[in-house]
């Protein structure tokens, strides 16, 4: 089972308590560890976390830098534990604009865990669904131009093979915390038939118990994939 989570509401959680927005982000970062830990126990084999979007660069400079500091800390503090827990970590998005030290940490973490066979953990940093499609299209176009791919040979599978999530199943369920009812440019190609859930709980309060409740509700849904006759 593949679950994608849009981890929303950190800043609002902090503001509602009279705290700086970065305090909410720090609380949210600690929540990540708990959700990753509990995912295998709940039957989740792939977990994709939307950590930083291509649009998040528009936020205040101090908030962006604070988020980057949290990314550094998460990777440094959890590298060995993730490996010991047999978690395979992959990163989605365009890493080019990120600081060199962050890119090196990402390479180290993904390289160390590449042969692990437990939970597949995708972390989306500087990720946007439209940007992903653009990058995939450019890669396909380059192959057409150099003659290694025919235009007539391009299929849905071709596009899937050039996405950041290639070789992975599409998400079965996408959860967005904090009650906002939109995907915000998250996995817009892959979510064609994903079930959606919008719990009115901010990410810092998204406990393992709330997570389990979401998965229990999902288990009761009937997925038809466009077939109206499915039971």
DSSP the chain: -EEEEE---HHHHHHTTT--HHHHHHHHHHHHHHHHHHTGGGT-SEEEEEEEETTGGGS-HHHHHHHHHHHHHHHHHHHHHHHHTT-EEEEES--TTS-HHHHHHHHHHHHHHTT--S-EEEEEEEE-HHHHHHHHHHHHHHHHHTTSS-GGG--HHHHHTTSTTTTSPPPSEEEEGGG--S-TTSSTTTTTT-EEE--S--GGG--HHHHHHHHHHHHTPPP-TT-TT--
Residue 228's pLDDT is 66
pLDDT in the model for residue 231 = 53
Q: Is 131 a catalytic residue?
A: no
Note whether residue 136 is domain-resident: yes
Selected catalytic residue, list 8, 164, 170, 172: 8
pLDDT at residue 32 in the model: 96
Task: Give the CA angle between residues 153, 158, 164 to the nearest 5°.
Answer: 160
Catalytic residue among 38, 56, 116, 185: 56
Q: Is 227 assigned a catalytic role?
A: no
The per-residue pLDDT for 230 is: 52
Residues in the chain: 231
Question: Degrees (nearest 5) of the Cα angle 120, 122, 127?
Answer: 165
| Domain of residue 201, residue span | 2-217
Q: Is 90 inside a domain boundary?
A: yes
Is the residue at 212 inside a domain?
Answer: yes
| CATH number, domain containing residue 87 | 3.40.1180.10
Looking at the structure of the chain, the number of domains it has is 1
Write the pLDDT tens digit of every residue in 121-173: 999 999 999 999 999 999 999 999 999 999 999 999 999 999 999 999 999 99
Q: In the chain, which stretches have pLDDT less than 70?
A: 228-231
φ and ψ at 216, to 5 degrees? Answer: -65, -40
Does residue 52 lie within any of the structural domains? Answer: yes
The answer to the question of residue 223 being in a domain is no
Q: Is residue 229 part of a domain?
A: no
Model pLDDT, residue 130: 98
| pLDDT attached to residue 226 | 80
Residue 19 and residue 12 in contact, taking contact as beta carbons nearer than 8 Å? no
């Amino acid at each position: 089972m593949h679950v994608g989570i849009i981890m929303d509401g950190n800043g609002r959680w902090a503001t509602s308590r009279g705290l700086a927005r970065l305090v909410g982000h720090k609380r949210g970062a600690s929540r990540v560890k708990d959700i990753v830990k509990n995912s295998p126990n709940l039957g989740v084999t792939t977990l994709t976390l939307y950590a930083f979007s291509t649009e998040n660069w528009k936020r205040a400079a101090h908030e962006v830098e604070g988020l980057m500091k949290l990314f550094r800390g998460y990777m440094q503090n959890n590298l060995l534990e993730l490996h010991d827990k047999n978690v395979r970590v992959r990163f989605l998005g365009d890493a080019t604009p990120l600081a060199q030290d962050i890119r090196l940490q990402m390479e180290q973490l993904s390289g160390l865990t590449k042969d692990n066979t437990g939970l597949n953990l995708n972390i989306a940093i500087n990720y946007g669904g439209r940007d992903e499609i653009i990058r995939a299209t450019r890669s396909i176009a380059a192959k057409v131009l150099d003659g290694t791919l025919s235009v007539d040979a391009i299929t849905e599978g071709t596009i899937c093979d050039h996405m950041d999530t290639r070789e992975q199943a599409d998400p079965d369920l996408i959860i967005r915390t904090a009650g906002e009812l939109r995907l915000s440019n998250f996995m817009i190609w892959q979510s064609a038939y994903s079930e959606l859930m919008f719990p009115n709980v901010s990410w810092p309060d998204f406990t393992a118990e709330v997570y389990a409740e979401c998965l229990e509700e999902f288990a009761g849904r009937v997925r038809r994939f466009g077939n109206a006759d499915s039971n």
